[in-house]
Amino acid sequence: MTAAISVRGLRVTRGGRQVLRGLDLEVEAGRVTGLLGPSGSGKTTLIRSIVGTQIVAGGSVSVLGLPAGARSLRRRVGYMTQAPSVYEDLTVHENLAYFARIVGVGADRVSRVVERVGLAANRDQVVVTLSGGERARVSLGAAILNEPEVLVLDEPTVGLDPVLRRDLWSFFHELAESGTTLLVSSHVMDEAARCDRLVLLREGSILADATPDDLLSRTGTDDLDEAFLELVQRGTA
Which of 10, 32, 46, 86 is in the footprint of another protein by CB under 8 A? 86
Which are the contacts of 51, defined by CB distance < 8 A and separation ≥ 6?
A: 68, 69, 77, 79, 152
Choose between 77 and 199: whose C-beta lies nearer to another protein. 77
In whole angstroms, give the CA distance from residue 74 to residue 66: 11
Nearer to another protein by C-beta: 77 or 192? Answer: 77
Given 1, 22, 24, 53, the residue binding another protein (CB under 8 A)? 53
d(CA 37, CA 229): 11
**Is 1 or 107 the residue whose CB approaches another protein more closely?**
107
Based on CB atoms, which residue is closest to another protein, 149 or 230? 149
Helix, coil or strand: residue 130? coil
Which of 33, 41, 44, 54: binder of another protein (CB under 8 A)?
A: 54
Amino acid residing at 16 = G
5 binds another protein (CB under 8 A): no
Kindly tell me which of 84 and 204 has the beta carbon lying closer to another protein.
84
Does position 81 bind another protein by CB under 8 A? yes
**Binding pattern to another protein, positions 205-224, x when CB under 8 A?**
--------------------
163 part of the interface to another protein, by CB under 8 A? no
Phi and psi for 222 in degrees, rounded to 5?
Answer: -120, 20
**Residue 129 binds to another protein (criterion: CB under 8 A):** no
Of 102, 74, 98, 69, residue with least CA distance to 86: 98
Coil, helix or strand for 87?
coil
H or E element that contains 197: strand 197-202
Instruction: Return the closest-CA partner of residue 64 out of 50, 81, 53, 54.
Output: 50
Q: Rule CB under 8 A: say whether 85 interacts with another protein.
A: yes
Report the interface residues with another protein, using CB under 8 A: 14-15, 51-55, 69, 74-75, 77, 79, 81, 83-90, 94, 98-99, 101-104, 126, 142
